[in-house]
């Protein structure tokens, strides 16, 4: 007997007028590999001049989520050149998706994190459901939000983006739309019918999505914007922590404790990157900035230690160097931003 051939990591399917791209690593919550990125890019390139393709639909296999992110264990294994290639190729795909000339619909059902946000949150139609959990948790692993995330978070209403970036907080459907990760809410039970309608209907993609969309659940972050905006209205993280400590709200104190548990260098870099990305205001420039910043983290203690503690050993007890926000070299952070040359 011979083993059955493994299924492709991305299923590329045609359904009526739709090109369907299904991330197909359900046991890993469809975590991205370099091969998956190449396969998606090739499928999109082939569909550009195919007049029978009128809409692209991105989804994840299984019932856990669209995509849990990319394989950053390459950094722990010392595969630095491979990691650089992965990021560069991933960012090029994000650019392609954001500017794709045909309607691109992303089904952000379930867990959508890191690289999953990169593939979906810059597309034309970004669908969330009651099962959606969106997060940029990079400061938890000794890194900073990337894949264009600093632009979304840096231009979110008030300072909610900074709050999410520094606490590695997550969003449900209402918050995802409020922050800017998503555009429409469709209950998960209606997604199969939405796909069928997109693939077979005669109306435009915009009209089809609007027909299936429902008012999103309440955005809890919108209800809490007053204390968030007041506390995070500072450029330096030390001042933000002092502001949080001084607030009367219990959630502000919880946020301060959470930030202090994150990677200090990642937190300080995240704040600086959000400010710079908001100033740039352009996805291509922001991706160039993030790639430059990402290279500065390759091989660092915190990035290796964070991945070890949170993903590999799962002991959830990373030992950061430096150990506190106060000890982070601000001049070094500023130099990384300045030398991006953007």
| CA-based nearest residue to 116, from 130, 137, 102 | 137
Q: Are 157 and 178 in contact (CB under 8 A)?
A: yes
Instruction: Name which of 261, 257, 238 is nearest 319 in CA terms.
Output: 261
Q: How many angstroms separate the CA atoms of 77 and 73, rounded?
A: 6
- The catalytic residue among 9, 90, 109, 146 is 146
Could you tell me how many residues make up the chain?
Answer: 342
Which of 9, 138, 175, 305 does the annotation list as catalytic? 138
In the annotation, is 201 catalytic?
A: no
Reply yes or no on whether 154 is catalytic. no
User: Is residue 138 flagged as an active site residue?
Assistant: yes
Residue 108 main-chain phi, psi, to 5 deg: -90, 55
Active-site residue identified among 110, 115, 148, 180: 115
Instruction: Give the integer Cα–Cα distance in Å for 209 and 3.
Output: 41
Q: 60, 65, 69, 70: which is the annotated catalytic residue?
A: 70
β partners of residue 32 = 70
Reduced 3-state DSSP string for the chain: CCCCCCCCCEEEEEECCEEEEEECCHHHCCCECHHHHHHHHHHHHHHCCCCCCCEEEEEECCCCEEECCECCHHHHCCCHHHHHHHHHHHHHHHHHHHCCCCCEEEEECCEEECHHHHHHCCCCEEEECCCCEEECCHHHHCCCCCCCHHHHHHCCCCCHHHHHHHHCCEECHHHHHHHCCCCEECCHHHHHHHHHHHHHCCCCHHHHHHHHCECCCCCHHHHCHHHHHHHCCCCCHHHHHHHHHHCCCHHHHHHHHHHHHCCHHHHHHHHHHHHHHHHHCCHHHHHHHHHHHHHHHCCCHHHHHHHHHHHHCCCCCCCCCCCCHHHCCHHHHHHHHHCCCC
Whether 115 is a known active-site residue: answer: yes
Catalytic residues: 70, 115, 138, 146
């Amino acid at each position: 007997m011979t083993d059955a051939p493994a299924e492709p990591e991305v299923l590329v399917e045609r359904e009526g007028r739709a090109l369907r791209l299904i991330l197909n690593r359900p046991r890993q919550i469809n975590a991205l590999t370099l091969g998956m990125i190449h396969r998606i890019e090739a499928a999109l390139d082939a569909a550009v001049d195919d007049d029978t393709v009128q809409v692209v639909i991105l989804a994840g296999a299984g019932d856990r989520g669209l995509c849990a992110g990319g394989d950053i264990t390459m950094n722990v294994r010392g595969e630095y050149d491979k990691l650089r290639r992965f990021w560069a190729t991933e960012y090029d795909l994000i650019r392609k998706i954001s500017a794709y000339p045909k309607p691109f619909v992303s089904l952000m059902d379930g867990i959508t994190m890191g690289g999953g946000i990169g593939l979906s949150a810059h597309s034309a139609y970004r669908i969330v459901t009651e099962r959606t959990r969106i997060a940029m948790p990079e400061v938890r692993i000794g890194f900073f939000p990337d894949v264009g995330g600093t632009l979304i978070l840096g231009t979110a209403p008030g300072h909610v983006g900074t709050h999410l970036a520094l606490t590695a907080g997550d969003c449900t459907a209402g918050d995802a739309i409020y922050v800017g990760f998503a555009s429409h809410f469709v209950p998960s039970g209606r997604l199969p019918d939405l796909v069928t309608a997109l693939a077979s209907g005669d109306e435009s993609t915009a009209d089809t999505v609007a027909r299936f969309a429902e008012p999103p659940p309440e955005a809890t972050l919108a209800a809490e914007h007053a204390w968030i905006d007041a506390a995070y209205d500072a450029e330096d993280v030390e001042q933000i922590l002092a502001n949080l400590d001084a607030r009367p709200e219990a959630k502000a104190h919880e946020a301060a404790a959470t930030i202090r548990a994150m990677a200090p260098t990642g937190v300080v870099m995240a704040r600086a990157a959000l400010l710079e990305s908001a100033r740039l205001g352009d996805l291509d420039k922001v991706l160039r900035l993030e790639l430059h910043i990402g290279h500065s983290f390759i091989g660092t203690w915190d990035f290796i230690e964070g991945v070890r503690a949170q993903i590999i050993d799962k002991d959830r007890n990373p030992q950061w160097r430096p150990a506190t926000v106060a000890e982070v070299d601000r001049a070094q952070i500023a130099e990384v931003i300045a030398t991006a040359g953007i």
